[in-house]
Structure formats: structure tokens, C-alpha cells
Amino acid sequence: MADKLLAVENVSRHYKLPKQALFRPAPVLTAVDQASFDLERGQTLGIVGESGSGKSTLAKMVMAFEPPDTGRILFQGQDINALDAGELRLLRQDFQMVFQDPFGSLDPRRTVAWSIGEPMRAIGRAAPAEIRIRVAEVLEQVGLTAKDGLKFPHEFSGGQRQRIAIARAISTRPALLVADEAVSALDVSVQAQILNLLMDLQADLGLSMLFISHDLAVVASICDKVIVLQKGRILEAGDTGHVLGNPAHEYTRSLVAAARM
Amino acid sequence: MNTRYLPANLVIGAILVVLTLGVALLSVFWTPYDYTQLDIVHKFQGPSAAHWLGTDQLGRDLLSQLMAGAGNSMAVAVTAVVLGGSIGTALGLLASAYGGWVEDIVMRLSDLSFAFPALLFAIMLAAAFGPSLPNVVVAIAFINVPIFARVARASANQIWTREYVFAARAAGLGKFAISRDHILPNIAAPIIVQATIEFALAILIEAALSYLGLGAQPPSPSWGRMLSEAQTLMYLAPQLAIYPGLSIVVAVLGFGLLGDGLRDVTDPRLSRER
């Protein structure tokens, strides 16, 4: 129990689809269906599945962007949907997210340093001078320079922007990093650099990661454990080598076969 | 964006707007004559070195009246559009940030006020509180509120789905802080475009209301009032109606073209060949 950082318990999420007929109830899409899993401290858990399998919905619920319709999500033993707004805001510094699109996750009208400092300012505990120092520190940690903070997002390449997004995510020294397709939009060579950076940071900072991807090769290279998701349901879960090496399920087998082509 | 050339409507609009605003500003400090100064002996004069555009039926200098009228017109339009635009934008941001019943109430109220003709509302205000320029400002501001609320909400709804807004939520920012730090700066362009276009309409409405005697009261100068005074003298001295009419056309056309030009430049969906 002590090293259980994140516990997802019987979580479901439904979306109402647009009505198709006037007097019939709107059809419902079950994005996540009764999902349960744990993430231990320092571990990386991969969530794989094709698009539409509910991966991103799961990420949104773990980030407390959306509440689950049923079930609970416990972070460090606390139900994140039972906290009031102020408590949740403080807790947010302990779980941060790296987004899929490095061109979309930074406000085009703000400097890089402004964006990286945003989570620290939101907490409101650090003085501006402290924030400046920390911004320079995380920029160097991800392989950029303090000077890069003065530039705007459009002056960087995709890989560099993803480094900036990671710098921002680790600025509050979180315990959990949720990476939703964090390398999917990047070229293969840049992908490898970002994956290495994530693994280095994990080793240095003792981060736990929830790594969401449709790319089995990427998941195999970075995750300790893996969950296979299909139509919102968890098909298989276990050690990465085991699940991907001996897939028990036909769907997992087809994913593995597709990845090997 | 590649700015090899600027659209013609932007350039022409900007020139007319600078001209109008320049004259309006100048009139605050200086006009050739006091626009209220009567000089019955020199009434109905044509253009001359002393009176560039001539004088009216009471011998007042036409150019001075036009300049002072520009000042009045701009002041009313600026106040009304800024007032209505700020309230409308704030309501639109609120509707977009909170959604649900907040959004429903704001948008249904906007629909309701859209059904209200601007002139009718102004006439109602004049009937209730007496005709005056402040009432014109209130009327124009009022009809601008739902227009800006709609534009702000529609643009803001797009920004709320951007990843950097999710990133800001992940950082722990509340809805107010996100609206202030991310939404407002990113919807500034469509708001400014709308404001420019509404500015042109505000000038027109002010002129119309003053023409009807519901806006500027004598001796306060106004293009609309000059038009209505010139009406009875149309056959005797048509220039008295032509000059204020032309002034209105130049100002409205200028702001209209500038607004269209700004939209062409800021909205890539509408720009034609690159």
C-alpha cells in the first residue's frame, strides 16, 4: 500500500452521442468500462490500444479533467474527485502531464519561460526570483539553455518543444508524469532522444510514469508494466515482456503482429 | 504569415480612418472658427479663403462644424463600442468558461436582445429619459453587448479545446485565470476586427439618431443634426447636406474597410491565394 502511488478502481466513463432520432434517447458511448489498475512509485506503466480504445479518456480522468461516472481514482491515497478545488490545485503539482502535440501544448503568445513558470505561479508559493531560477534549472535538465526561455514556441522544432513541455511538467517536482502519446507526433530519431530524456529524468527524479501510446515498440522500450485496452475494457495487464512476448489475447497478438511489420 | 502586400481594403480603410480620427482629434484643440459663432451677414457663402467650405444659413463656418461633428461622432462611437464590447466580451468569456446553464442564460439573453432593433431601443430610451448623447451611447453600447458576447464565446470555445489550456488546467489554474491568461489574448484578433466594424455602424447610428433629433442637441455639433437642418434648404444650398453626408460616408466606409481588411489579414481561412 505504501508504494502505491496511483490506484484506479472500477472506473467507467460514458459519453452521450448526438441524438439521431427526436423521440429516442441519445446513444451512449462507453469510453472506459470498469477499468482498474495500480501504479507503484518509480514505475512506468504503459497503456496501449488503438485509437478510440479509451486511452486518452483514461488520461483525462487521471488528470482530473473529467470525473469518472463510476469508480474512484486515488492519488497518494486521496480520491482526487472528492477534494475541493483548492486542495486539488495544491495536489496538482504532484501529478503533471506531457501532451501529444508539441505544437499545441504551449500558448503561442507566451514566452517559453512564462509557460514553464505557469504551474509554479498557479500554486502561488514561490517568489518570482525562485521561479526564474527553477525555470533555468529545468531548461538545462531537458537539454536546453536558460536563454531559450526568452524565445517563443514557434522558434523551436517539435522535439525541442516537447523538451519544453517536459521541463514545464517536471518544474513542480511531481511524483507522477502522465504522458499521452508524448512522442507519437515526432520523427523516429527525435522520438528516441525524447524517450531517453524521459528515462534519464525518471532515474534522476524517481518519477512514476503513466505512458499512453498506440506504438508498441515505444511502450516496450520504456515501460515496466503494460495494460492493453480495447473498447474501454482492459484485456490484459502485466509485465511488459510477458504481455508483449506471450500475448494471451487475440487482440494483443494482432497489435504485436502489426507493430513487427 | 507572409506580408508581401497588404490588402487594398486595409490600406484604403486605414487612410480614411486616420484622416477621420486626425480631424476629430484636431477639433478638440483647434477649429478654424468657433462652430457656434453666428455671422448672419455672411450666410450661405461658397468656398473662400476665409471659409474653406463656406458658411451655413446662420453664417456659421461649415468646416468648423464638420470637424467638431467628427469629434462628437468619434467620442460617441468609441465610448459606446468600448463599453458594449467590454461587457459583451466578458459575458462571452464567462459563458464559454462555465458552460451549462450560465452559457444558456447568456446566449438566450443575447438572442433576445438581437430581436430588438437598435433604433427602436434608442427611441425608447429617448422617450423615457429625454434625448441626449449619453442616451445614444447607452443605446449603442447595449446593442453591442450581445454581438461581442457571441463573437467572444464562439472564439473562446475554440481556444478552450487547445492543449495549452489543458496544460494550464493541469498546472492548477482556475477558469478565471485561464480566461485572463490564455483565452483573452488568443481571441483578441477577432474581437478587434469586430470592434472596428461595429465602430462604423455606431457612427451611422449616432448620425441617424441625431438626424431624428434624439441624439446631439443644439448647439452641440453633429453630422446627423447638420443633415436634418440642411434638409429644408436642400434646393437653396445643397452643399449644406452634401458635406456632412460625405463625412459620414468617409468615416463609415473607412472603418468598414479597415475591419474587413483586418479580418482578411488575421483570419487565414478567408485569405485567398498565397
Mean pLDDT of B185-209: 92
The per-residue pLDDT for range A142-168, each reduced to its tens digit, is 999 999 999 999 999 989 999 999 999
Residue B185: which pLDDT band, with cuts at 50, 70 and 90? Answer: very high
As for how many domains chain A has, the answer is 1
Chain B residues near any Cβ of chain A (below 8 Å): 162-164, 166-174, 177, 181-182, 185-186
**Looking at the partner chain, which of B162, B173, B182 has a beta carbon nearest the beta carbon of A122?**
B173
Measure B83 CA to nearest chain A CA, in Å: 26
Q: What is the pLDDT of residue B144?
A: 93
Instruction: Give this prediction's pTM.
Output: 0.84
Grid coordinates given for B184: 483573452
**Residue entry with cell 483586418:** B262
Whole-angstrom Cα distance, residue B203 to residue B200? 5
Whole-angstrom Cα distance, residue A190 to residue A168? 19
Residues of chain B above pLDDT 90, percent: 45
Q: Would the CB atoms of A109 and B185 count as touching at under 8 Å?
A: yes
Q: What is the pLDDT of residue A133?
A: 94
B73, B251 Cβ separation under 8 angstroms: yes
Q: What is the pLDDT of residue A95?
A: 92
Using an 8 Å CB-CB cutoff, list chain B residues near A181: none
Question: Domain locations in chain B?
Answer: 8-19+53-266
Whole-angstrom Cα distance, residue B63 to residue A154? 51
Q: What is the pLDDT of residue A223?
A: 92
- Above 70 in pLDDT, residue B2? no
Q: Would the CB atoms of A119 and B182 count as touching at under 8 Å?
A: no
Chain B residue with minimum CA distance to A100 = B163
- Above 80 in pLDDT, residue B268? no
Grid coordinates given for B274: 498565397
Measure B99 CA to nearest chain A CA, in Å: 14
Q: Would the CB atoms of A99 and B163 count as touching at under 8 Å?
A: yes
Structural domain boundaries enclosing A118: 4-260
The per-residue pLDDT for range B61-98, each reduced to its tens digit, is 888 888 988 998 999 999 999 999 999 999 999 999 99
Using an 8 Å CB-CB cutoff, list chain A residues near B173: 118, 122
The per-residue pLDDT for range B91-149, each reduced to its tens digit, is 999 999 998 899 999 999 998 888 877 788 888 888 888 888 888 899 899 999 999 99
Residue B239: which pLDDT band, with cuts at 50, 70 and 90? Answer: confident
**Looking at the partner chain, which of A93, A105, A168 has a beta carbon nearest the beta carbon of B172?**
A93
Using an 8 Å CB-CB cutoff, list chain A residues near B187: none
Q: Would the CB atoms of B166 and A93 count as touching at under 8 Å?
A: no
Q: Would the CB atoms of B171 and A122 count as touching at under 8 Å?
A: yes
Under 8 Å CB pairs connecting chains A and B tally to 63
Chain A residue with minimum CA distance to B171 = A119
Q: What is the pLDDT of residue B26?
A: 87
Measure B164 CA to nearest chain A CA, in Å: 4
Whole-angstrom Cα distance, residue B234 to residue B204? 21
Question: Which of A119, A222, A109 is closest to A166 using CA atoms?
Answer: A119
Q: What is the pLDDT of residue B50?
A: 74
Measure A247 CA to nearest chain B CA, in Å: 34
> Which of A105, A164, A168 is best to mutate for the B interface (most B CBs within 10 A)?
A105
The per-residue pLDDT for range B199-236, each reduced to its tens digit, is 999 999 999 988 988 888 877 888 998 898 888 888 88
B73, B206 Cβ separation under 8 angstroms: yes
Instruction: Check which CATH number belongs to the domain holding A195 and give it.
Output: 3.40.50.300
More confident residue, B160 or A246: B160
DSSP string, A213-249: ES-HHHHHHH-SEEEEEETTEEEEEEEHHHHHHS--S
Cα pseudo-dihedral A58, A59, A63, A66, rounded to 10: -50
**Looking at the partner chain, which of A90, A93, A105 has a beta carbon nearest the beta carbon of B163?**
A105
A110, A135 Cβ separation under 8 angstroms: no
Whole-angstrom Cα distance, residue B241 to residue B217? 18
- Above 50 in pLDDT, residue B40? yes
DSSP string, B20-71: HHHHHHHHHH--SS-TT---GGGTT--S-SSSTT-B-TT--BHHHHHHHHHH
Measure B177 CA to nearest chain A CA, in Å: 9
In chain A, which stretches have pLDDT less than 70? 1-2, 260-261
Q: What is the pLDDT of residue B269?
A: 58
Confirm or reject CATH 3.40.50.740 for domain B8-19+53-266, answering yes or no.
no
Residue B270: which pLDDT band, with cuts at 50, 70 and 90? Answer: low
Question: What ipTM goes with this model?
Answer: 0.86
Q: What is the pLDDT of residue A1?
A: 46
Q: What is the pLDDT of residue A28?
A: 86
Using an 8 Å CB-CB cutoff, list chain B residues near A123: 172
Q: Would the CB atoms of A92 and B166 count as touching at under 8 Å?
A: no
Question: Which of A56, A48, A62, A59 is closest to A6 using CA atoms?
Answer: A62
**Looking at the partner chain, which of B166, B171, B185 has a beta carbon nearest the beta carbon of A92?**
B171
Chain B residue with minimum CA distance to A97 = B170
Measure A119 CA to nearest chain B CA, in Å: 4
Q: What is the pLDDT of residue B48?
A: 78
